[in-house]
Structure 1
Amino acid sequence: MSGEAQDTSVKSITIEEATVEEIQLAFKENNLTSRQLVQHYINAIEELNPTLSAVIEVNPDALSQADQADRERNLPGGCLSGMHGIPVMLKDNIATKDKLNTAAGSLALLNSVVPRDAGVVDKLRKAGAVILGKAGLTEWCNFRSSSGKMPDGWSARGGTVSNPYVRSTEPGGSSTGSAVSVAANLVTVSLGTETSGSIVQPCSISGVVGIKPTVGLTSRAGTFSGSLRQDTVGPIGRTVSDAVYLLDEIVGYDPRDEITKENIQYIPSGGFKQCLKHDGLNNKRLGNLWHYFKVEYTDPEIVRTFEDHFNVMSQNGAVLINDLAISNIETVMNPEESGEQLALKYEFKRDLNVYLSNLLESLIRSLTAAIAFNEDPNYRDQEKLDEYGQEFFLMSEQTSLPNSEYTNTVEKLTKLCEEGFEKFMNDHNLDAMLAPEFFAYPMLAIGGYPAIVVPAGYDPDGVPYAIMFAGLKGSEAKLIEIAYAFEQLTKVRKPPRVATSSTIESKMDVSL
């Protein structure tokens, strides 16, 4: 390949930080093949993953999938979508019916056999995307231990995922590897899942864009779920446009997840890509919650950065409304006080047992069996039971449904949403709520509301932080307009030093 660089007929593309749109153009102009792109990422994973532990497993069929995409591209109508031939990393709780494991990071589900692809994976395959592998995560999506006891991004299968900017910094969870693999240029885009902060938190800390869709806008079928009431599958990219390209391919009706039927109404005709508007901030009313969270910051430079961002938005047509009150924000931001933690305790056992019962092969078939597996002397040390425990497992195991305590709690959560966030948005005719980083996520989690985090800056140690835009159910179109316009005006993201500079130079040659 180095010899080919002397050929003036050969063009080049730098893969690091290349967007989906740029990659598709390179495909079209025969400057890049999917095989070369996938091989580039495999090489990057081999080089960087021993440090980052972002990827649990690489798909042994990834190169053959890339070859298929390359063959299809040369056929009439062969390019199936904007994601055709683009590698995607999946969180290890999203089922794939292939040679990859789907284990939620646990040894208990290693070598289990799923009945079929998850709904979102089925859509990705139909779009011609390449499934590159499975990403590290907080084991069992952080439902095993009591809060804060298990490190973010740790699993028995994958070890601990590291922040790609500052390795000593907590990387956030539970979609840790999904965020880090994108941030470190180990893949183009990825999928994560969120119950309560699991996309927006690690994306904020890893300097990438994360979209938490309205619950039910994307299918949860075939995805291990901690709570079907709150869980959602969402895209992660280095840019808003990359995340939106991926979002467009995974939204829509799935008969295996009926809630998706009622959310079709939120998908614009022609998809969300049309919402990538440079003037997307114009006339948008933003409820700014900075006054609630400013106390978190002692560094004047970070404060100044956020205030500069607010000014940029105002100067480009947004109407920022400051100092608005959300009547019950203290309650909804506390999972114990709101009842979220109690509801999740009931839902986890119910939803996990359903997922396990549908597996074709598995060492465990219930939460009871998962608890016993971790206590087994053959696995106890590997699962670090003595260090991290399984308190939430044990609490959830004691629950049973139907139960009036659970019913009353869900009714309380619904009322908190109606009287809090929804009233706040409606009373002030807001298009979006604005908050620093990921801090408002508990309020959004309990109501299934969408959010987007976009890189906003770097602290004195070099750790990224984000800005978050959130809205009522089905408001993705507005949020994308806002987030994209903000991103294009600020362009904050810079790759971590861990990412190596590399250029692929080649002709279209699927044999390479």
Structure 2
Amino acid sequence: MPRPLLAVAAMVLVLAAAGAHGFEIEEATLASIQLGFNNGSLTSVELVRFYLDRIRGLNPLLRAVIEVNPDALRQAARADAERRSSSSGKCVTAGGPLHGVPVLLKDNIATRDALNTTAGSFALLGSVARRDAGVVRRLRRAGAVVLGKANMDEWANFRSLAGTDGWSARGGQARNPYVLSASPCGSSTGSAIAAAASMAAVTLGTETDGSILCPASLNSVVGIKPTLGLTSRAGVVPITPRQDTVGPICRTVTDVVHVLDAIVGYDALDAAATSTASKYIPDGGYTQFLKKDGLNGKRIGIPNGFFNYANGTVQHTVYQQHIDTMRKQGAIVVEDLDIANLSVILDSLNNGQEIALAAEFKLSLNAYLSGLSYSPVRTLAEIIAFNDAHPVEEKMKEIGQIIFLVAENTTGIGAVERAAVSQLNKLSADGLEKLMREHKLDAIVTPNSAASPVLAIGGMPGITVPAGYGAMGVPFGLSFGGLKGYEPRLIEMSYAFEQVTTVRKTPTFLP
């Protein structure tokens, strides 16, 4: 192993042993953290210090975090004080599973504090939001500590067809903590890496098409892409209100479900979407669906066109084993299913998606920028000009900004754009939605984020869980997807799958 990687491995071992009072913080879950708080073996301040130390040690290698919150320790101290005073000085949980827990936010989720919100671009450096994003307000009410901002594909990978694969101008090139040369995927890259490498127990990402499911899969963590509108998009640097959603990325299904419970709900600043989706939120929250027998009796579809792995490959063998496991757990697996017009759905350049997204992006981004208290740029046109003026920092030669240029050339939502959206709605209705209803499916199962375009155009949810590690040690995941509001079923299935397979292991930092 090269010397730099030996040093990293040694450092990780030191950090893993650096828990307070013997508390094992690496790989700690929300339950173990709260237990530590309650029995006095851990404080929020100690937990924040651990994560800050770990970020300081690992971030030069992994580039998962753009900046940390200078106010995090003060927030943690306040949480400790609340806990001490909550029951006559006894150490008891003051406000639920997230109270006093540090959270990393993807850098397109706005905070009204000392942190920047830049979508990874220098163009927005120094901009000031009028208020916290809706999901951040809910996290703060739950007692969470905002630890910092996670790296991401710049502009959520909507700047150029070339893609950025975990790179942003502000954060640099993020790296997969299992195999450093492997793709970490995006756009919620830093959130997934940070969760995997125990730089935080809880992170938030966003998804328009695959941006939670893909990095969660390739970094061996759990990610939920919620039903459109289940979580507020207010205060999030947008691509399109028709597909954008905010969701948690953690190391276990239990933890992402606790976070989901904290961030769902109506927001007057995203009224139409959150009002429509609020009907899906179950009484009693989502943790009630963490059932070890959650696969029993479920009808699970295996659509054609996704598990295209050659015989003898690790993925082919492991995925077949997982499907057999689901059967043994009582699931009714329905194979050889065809999603109508799948090839068209997966072709974003020709199915109308890029036409719709370009116009929606310009309108949404300009509206976001105009709502900031201060910003060095106020329009997409000014961002384009900024990039042209900073070609080295923004890697203009390597990446370019063709999508920005196309979007800037749009003139609103006209007949062409409405026709494109109508086509996408029809593709969804005649595709997965019809398939699931005809076969009475509770979910479809696909590898990694392969089905994310199918879920994206219909605003439908998905959950990915660790499924295995390839021949070179690169992680891969298994995704459960369903119709709008199917989160309870997906949680039952993904939790049961996780509990019976216990696939996840800690990062290996291989070259």
TM-score (norm 2): 0.93
Q: Does 1:54 align with 2:67?
A: no
In 2, the alpha carbon distance for the partners of 1:362 and 1:299 equals: 54
In 1, the alpha carbon distance for the partners of 2:207 and 2:100 equals: 26
In 2, the alpha carbon distance for the partners of 1:91 and 1:249 equals: 17
User: C-alpha displacement at 1:324, in angstroms?
Assistant: 1.2
Equivalent in the alignment of 1:425: 436
Say whether the 8 Å CA contact 1:48–1:498 is kept in structure 2: no
Identify the match of residue 369 of structure 1 among 364, 382, 393: 382
In 1, the alpha carbon distance for the partners of 2:419 and 2:373 equals: 35
In 2, the alpha carbon distance for the partners of 1:11 and 1:36 equals: 10
Say whether the 8 Å CA contact 2:179–2:508 is kept in structure 1: no
* Higher normalized contact order (CA 8 Å, seq sep 6+, divided by chain length): 1
In 2, the alpha carbon distance for the partners of 1:440 and 1:242 equals: 24
Equivalent in the alignment of 2:460: 449
Q: Does 1:295 align with 2:279?
A: no
Identify the match of residue 236 of structure 1 among 230, 234, 249: 249
Q: Does 1:398 align with 2:409?
A: yes
User: C-alpha displacement at 1:325, in angstroms?
Assistant: 1.4
Q: Which segments of 5 or more consecutive residues in structure 1 lack a partner in the other structure? A: 1-9, 500-512
Q: Does 1:223 align with 2:236?
A: yes
Equivalent in the alignment of 1:177: 190
TM-score (norm 1): 0.93
User: How many residues end up aligned between the 2 structures?
Assistant: 485
Per-residue CA shift, 1:72-117, capped at 9, x if unaligned? 1122376122110111100000000000000000101001111100
Q: Does 1:70 align with 2:70?
A: no
Deviates more, 1:292-301 or 1:111-120: 292-301
SS in 1 for 2:59: helix
User: C-alpha displacement at 1:497, in angstroms?
Assistant: 2.6
User: C-alpha displacement at 1:498, in angstroms?
Assistant: 4.2
Deviates more, 1:296-305 or 1:337-346: 296-305
Equivalent in the alignment of 2:109: 94
Q: Structure 1 116/496 Cα, relative in aligned 2: closer, same or farther at 3 Å?
A: same
SS in 1 for 2:480: strand
Equivalent residues in 2 for 1:289-328 (5 A)?
Answer: 289=303, 291-297=304-310, 299-328=312-341
Equivalent in the alignment of 1:408: 419
Q: Does 1:334 align with 2:329?
A: no
In 2, the alpha carbon distance for the partners of 1:232 and 1:312 equals: 31
In 2, the alpha carbon distance for the partners of 1:111 and 1:299 equals: 52
Q: Which segments of 5 or more consecutive residues in structure 2 lack a partner in the other structure? A: 1-19, 88-92
SS in 1 for 2:247: strand
Q: Does 1:262 align with 2:276?
A: yes
Identify the match of residue 275 of structure 1 among 289, 293, 299: 289
Flag as ranges the 4+ runs of structure 1 deviating above 6 A.
Answer: none
Equivalent in the alignment of 1:18: 28
Question: What's the C-alpha RMSD, in Å, of the aligned pairs?
Answer: 1.3
Say whether the 8 Å CA contact 2:359–2:413 is kept in structure 1: no
In 1, the alpha carbon distance for the partners of 2:310 and 2:126 equals: 45
In 2, the alpha carbon distance for the partners of 1:297 and 1:129 equals: 45
In 2, the alpha carbon distance for the partners of 1:226 and 1:150 equals: 15
Say whether the 8 Å CA contact 1:184–1:498 is kept in structure 2: no
Per-residue CA shift, 1:13-35, capped at 9, x if unaligned? 21111111111111111111011
Equivalent in the alignment of 1:129: 144
Q: Which amino acid aligns with 1:409?
A: A
Equivalent in the alignment of 2:12: none
SS in 2 for 1:320: strand
In 1, the alpha carbon distance for the partners of 2:364 and 2:313 equals: 45
Equivalent residues in 2 for 1:469-484 (5 A)?
Answer: 469-484=480-495
In 2, the alpha carbon distance for the partners of 1:408 and 1:75 equals: 59
Per-residue CA shift, 1:238-275, capped at 9, x if unaligned? 00001111111000011111111121111111110111
User: C-alpha displacement at 1:294, in angstroms?
Assistant: 2.8
Equivalent in the alignment of 2:98: 83
SS in 1 for 2:36: helix
User: C-alpha displacement at 1:298, in angstroms?
Assistant: 5.6
Per-residue CA shift, 1:446-501, capped at 9, x if unaligned? 111000000000001100000000000010011000000000000100010349xx
In 2, the alpha carbon distance for the partners of 1:392 and 1:444 equals: 22
Identify the match of residue 43 of structure 1 among 53, 61, 66: 53
User: C-alpha displacement at 1:397, in angstroms?
Assistant: 0.5
User: C-alpha displacement at 1:11, in angstroms?
Assistant: 5.9
Per-residue CA shift, 1:265-302, capped at 9, x if unaligned? 1111111011111011111000112x422324464332
